[in-house]
Amino acid sequence: MRVIVTRPRREAERWECELSALGLVAVALPLIQVAPVADTAEVMQAWQHLDDYAGVMFVSGNAVEQFFAARPATVMAFDAQDVTKTRAWATGPGTANSLLRCGVAAQLIDAPQPAAGQFDSEALWQVVAAQLCPGDRVLIVRGAQQVTTPRSDRLLGSGRDWFANQLVQVGAQVDFVVAYQRGAPAFSPAELALARQAASDGSVWLFSSTEALANLSAALPGQSWNAAIAVATHARIAQSAKNAGFGVVLESRPTLSDVAACLKRLDQHLKITP
């Protein structure tokens, strides 16, 4: 069994190595391209006013990495000696680990517990809701989709609004900043050939976003996925895979250990199924 890892390139290559180290055959096929925003002025301004916020919510590890890449050298925040009360909020362990790698003190990070049933905005809200008071300001750091038109390129902010709506309902003020841009990668002929082959050869597609699925469908219009197998790291992603026509769709928690366990169970099942 071969696992097709569809995360953005750097994450996909890391997961490819980690899954391979666990005895699985994995291949990186990034279905999302991540790049810094061309103009980081708004990100740098957000850094300068970080003390104004009760919490900064990062929607993904990419949001963390690109936000911290634009950190002004004069700003000291989120480290163990920082006197600010601003908290760093992460939707799951991957984002929390990105915060730690960027030097954020562990005691300043709020995230769902590793044993939580799910890792998403709803789970994070259960952790941080009690921290908030009416009038508090919260910054949401997110990505934007690159949209190309005949006359211009522009960025559209994206991401689910559920968390922001919860903040508004408790009287908090919500600000957004776009720290990175996402789009479909330019697939090489070899990558397209791999994708077509993996649609029917028993490979298992590992999906961590609905956007990856959309980019795959757009790259291979008309491709049948009836014989394809998918493992999705959230119920919404699993439903998108079913909607795209994947014949077998399983759901796993998004941690490496859970995904690996799911894949190994699936491998054993495929070996004993005629």
Report residue 155's pLDDT band, with 50, 70 and 90 as the boundaries.
very low
**Domain residue limits at 221:** 2-32+185-272
Are 60 and 107 in the same domain?
Answer: yes
33: buried, middle or exposed (CB in 10 Å: 19+, 13-18, 0-12)?
Answer: middle
Question: Which of the two residues, 219 and 73, has the higher pLDDT score?
Answer: 219
Domain boundary among the residues 151, 183, 215 is at 183
Tokens matching residue 137:
């300001």
Are 232 and 162 in the same domain?
Answer: no
Are 58 and 142 in the same domain?
Answer: yes
Using a pLDDT cut of 90, give the percent of the chain over it: 78
Are 93 and 149 in the same domain?
Answer: yes
Are 17 and 50 in the same domain?
Answer: no
Are 138 and 210 in the same domain?
Answer: no
Are 241 and 268 in the same domain?
Answer: yes
Are 41 and 117 in the same domain?
Answer: yes
Residue-level pLDDT at 106: 92
User: Distance (Å, rounded) from C-alpha 270 to C-alpha 25?
Assistant: 15
User: Distance (Å, rounded) from C-alpha 231 to C-alpha 250?
Assistant: 5
Are 42 and 114 in the same domain?
Answer: yes
CATH number for 79: 3.40.50.10090
CA nearest to 248, candidates 215, 212, 199, 211: 199
Domain boundary among the residues 145, 162, 183 is at 183
**pLDDT, mean of residues 152-163:** 57
Q: How many domains does the chain have?
A: 2
Question: For the segment 34-91, what is each residue's pLDDT rounded down to a tens digit?
Answer: 999 989 999 999 999 999 999 999 999 999 999 999 999 888 788 766 667 899 999 9
- The position carrying tokens 């789009």 is 183
Are 173 and 209 in the same domain?
Answer: no
Question: For the segment 125-151, what is each residue's pLDDT rounded down to a tens digit?
Answer: 999 999 999 999 999 999 987 644 444
Residue-level pLDDT at 118: 80
Are 78 and 15 in the same domain?
Answer: no
Are 162 and 152 in the same domain?
Answer: yes
Domain boundary among the residues 128, 150, 183 is at 183
Min mean pLDDT across 92-101, 191-200, 265-274 is at 265-274
